[in-house]
């Protein structure tokens, strides 16, 4: 009888401790210390500005500093590796894009991180429609003019990108494949280098997001040939889609979303996603950092973002395999 009573006491104590631990975890304050969001691009760009706007609002919402750390280079690999190796506690996030978790695994035989296994989706924030622009080095004005020159002089029409394997690179090669032309790739470090190269005549064309070039196009210094989307851009409503000018089935957009190291507690992922969602849907934030600068709001939570990534990876896997692009 004594043994039975002792067993009951031990069992009851264990149950109490488990319930107390569960209550404690449920009641924990998160975040309770500074958080870091890593950006795989240089300061001042579209994604960097978006993250800094979010970081400011998150700091106010949580009462804890949310700092932004720029780790550009290597087609977002440097930043992704740093995030994947960080503690999976919710205090380190990465503003990822298409190359980070959807493309790099097909472009490189070896990566210092696993885009699928090492990083988990938190919230997909926004996307930008892609546009084909030409500079003064190209004298034509239409897609027909561009294709005519590319077919007459194969491999001589130059296009600028943000580096091998970048979104701009894959877009240009996909476009060339669909259109049946051969183009000459000229890689740069980022959009801040590509736009001046276009304006100075170093390259003739480039694929880029709408926001970085919208005002320059409106000024007449660059000419927009077509939007790579099923619909026109609200910022460049006068620019037709590729389908409207005769090239079907060429669509492209670039997304920006937060991911975290695998193993980050689901409760923390959901809290981050919910807080960010409340911020990005406000009219003030959208006007300053999303729709007002030419981005399109996505606001996809963890599960919806995960479904988006499945489709994204399948699409890029097929594209890159067909194009035969390998970067190592």
Domain range list for the chain: 35-127+254-323, 129-227
pLDDT confidence of 27, banded at 50, 70, 90?
low
Q: What is the DSSP string of 39-76?
A: ESS-TTSHHHHHHHHHHHHHHHHHSS-EEEEE---GGG
Among 58-62, 89-93, 181-185, 246-250, the range scoring the smallest mean pLDDT is: 246-250
CATH classification code of 129-227: 3.40.190.10
Grouping H, G, I as helix, E, B as strand and the rest as coil, residue 159 is: strand
pLDDT tens digits for range 69-117: 999 989 999 999 999 999 999 999 999 999 999 999 999 999 999 999 9
User: Residue 3's pLDDT is what?
Assistant: 47
The torsion angles phi and psi of 108, rounded to 5 degrees, stand at -120, 140
Statement: residue 122 has pLDDT above 90: yes
pLDDT tens digits for range 189-203: 877 889 999 999 999
Statement: residue 51 has pLDDT above 60: yes
Mean pLDDT of 280-308: 96
Q: How many CA atoms lie within 13 A of 71 on its CB side?
A: 18
pLDDT tens digits for range 162-192: 888 889 999 999 999 999 999 999 999 877 8
- How far is it, in rounded angstroms, from Cα 191 to Cα 208? 8
Mean pLDDT of 139-167: 94
User: Residue 20's pLDDT is what?
Assistant: 45
Same fold, 35-127+254-323 and 129-227: yes
Average pLDDT taken over every residue of the chain:
90
- How far is it, in rounded angstroms, from Cα 168 to Cα 212? 13
Q: What's the topology of domain 35-127+254-323? A: D-Maltodextrin-Binding Protein; domain 2 (3.40.190)
């Amino acid at each position: 009888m004594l043994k039975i009573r002792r067993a009951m006491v031990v069992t009851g104590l264990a149950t109490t401790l488990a319930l107390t631990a569960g209550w404690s975890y449920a009641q924990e304050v998160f975040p309770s210390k500074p958080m870091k969001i890593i950006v795989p691009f240089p300061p001042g760009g579209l994604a960097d500005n978006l993250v800094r706007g979010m970081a400011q609002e998150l700091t106010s919402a949580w009462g804890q500093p949310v700092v932004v750390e720029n780790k550009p280079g290597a087609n977002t690999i440097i930043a992704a590796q740093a995030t994947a190796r960080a503690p999976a506690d919710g205090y380190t996030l990465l503003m990822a894009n298409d190359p980070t978790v959807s493309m790099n695994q097909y472009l490189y035989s070896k990566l210092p991180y696993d885009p699928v296994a090492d990083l988990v989706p938190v919230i997909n924030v926004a996307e930008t429609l892609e546009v084909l622009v030409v500079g003064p080095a190209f004298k034509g004005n239409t897609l027909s003019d561009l294709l005519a020159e590319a077919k007459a002089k194969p491999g001589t029409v130059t296009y600028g990108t943000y580096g091998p394997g970048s979104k701009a690179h894959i877009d240009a090669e996909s476009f060339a494949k669909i259109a049946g032309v051969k183009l000459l790739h000229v890689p740069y470090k980022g959009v801040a280098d590509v736009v001046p190269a276009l304006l100075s005549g170093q390259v003739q064309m480039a694929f880029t997001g709408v926001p970085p070039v919208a005002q320059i196009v409106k000024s007449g210094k660059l000419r927009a040939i077509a939007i790579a989307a099923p619909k026109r851009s609200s910022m460049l409503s006068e620019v037709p889609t590729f389908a409207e000018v005769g090239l079907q089935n060429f669509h492209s957009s670039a997304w920006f979303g937060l991911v975290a190291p695998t193993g980050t507690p689901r409760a923390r992922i959901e809290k981050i996603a919910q807080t960010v969602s409340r911020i990005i849907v406000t009219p003030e934030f959208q006007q300053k950092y999303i729709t007002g600068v030419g981005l399109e709001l996505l606001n996809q939570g963890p599960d919806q973002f995960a479904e988006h990534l499945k489709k994204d990876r399948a699409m890029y896997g097929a594209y890159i395999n067909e194009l035969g692009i390998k970067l190592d």
